[in-house]
Amino acid sequence: MPRYEPAGDAFQQASSSANVIHTPEQLGEPFPQYLPQPNPDLVQVQLPDPTLFSPPQNDFQQLALNRRSHRRYDTEAILSPAELGYLLRMTQGLREGSQTQTLTRRYVPSAGSRHPFETYLAVQRVEGLEPGIYHYLPAQHALEVWKSGTEALQAAHSTTYNQKQALNSAVTFFWIAEVYRTSWRYGMRAYRYIYLDAGHVCQNLYLAAESIGYGVCAIAAFDDELANTVFELDGKERFTAYMASVGKKLPAA
């Protein structure tokens, strides 16, 4: 019996660097849109100026040593808008002067600076925000109220198979991949890069959350088809790549 999965091997072969030929860029296809435009039909919530926020813990070595996955959260703790804005900035926020040559520069590595992700949030306990699903607008450092209410929140949680850390989180991050942002330059190789990029984003979330006394649990075990339905994705050009719950850490048992 082979010690590998045929489907995985097929993916490895198809996304081999030898197959990075006839990419959309080489074929003269249209340049991707790297920043979402605000939806005029959705309510927009401005987040506090991120340059005014400083986390209480800034010792990188200690943050790295303390970092681990947390599945138990203080369900009485409320995340502040400034703290949420800080987490968003550190994961998908824009650096100053980041739109050089129509690309974006952010606080995480990304192959070719393509940054293929849109961030959606299942908000449960954030000061001033009603429960529901929100969409992050990096250029505006703002949130769109994508779907409001507990029913929308429950739908988002159900994509995680209702794992306890999601049900008890202050907020759960959902990173939606826009394939063409990366495949325009790299063709089939883009799929490897997208998942690598997702890891970079989530690690930044872990470290940023640790610096404000919050814990994170990355979630890769989720219902792909249900996530496509809940977030209105086609599963091909746009799909859910990764999730992560965030909540105030409880004292060690």
DSSP letter at 215 equals E
Measured CA distances, 49 to 82, 135, 238 (Å): 8, 18, 30
Domain covering 6-31+43-248 in this structure, CATH number:
3.40.109.10
| Domain boundary assignment for the chain | 6-31+43-248
The pLDDT tens digits of the residues spanning 145-170 come to 999 999 999 999 999 999 999 999 99
Give the Cα separation of 29 and 208 in Å (integer): 37
Q: Is the pLDDT of residue 99 over 70?
A: no
Q: Which residues contact 100 (CB under 8 A, 6 or more apart)?
A: none
pLDDT of 146 reads 98
Claim: this prediction has a pTM higher than 0.85: yes
Q: Is the pLDDT of residue 98 over 70?
A: no
pLDDT of 19 reads 86
Per DSSP, the three-state class of 119 is strand
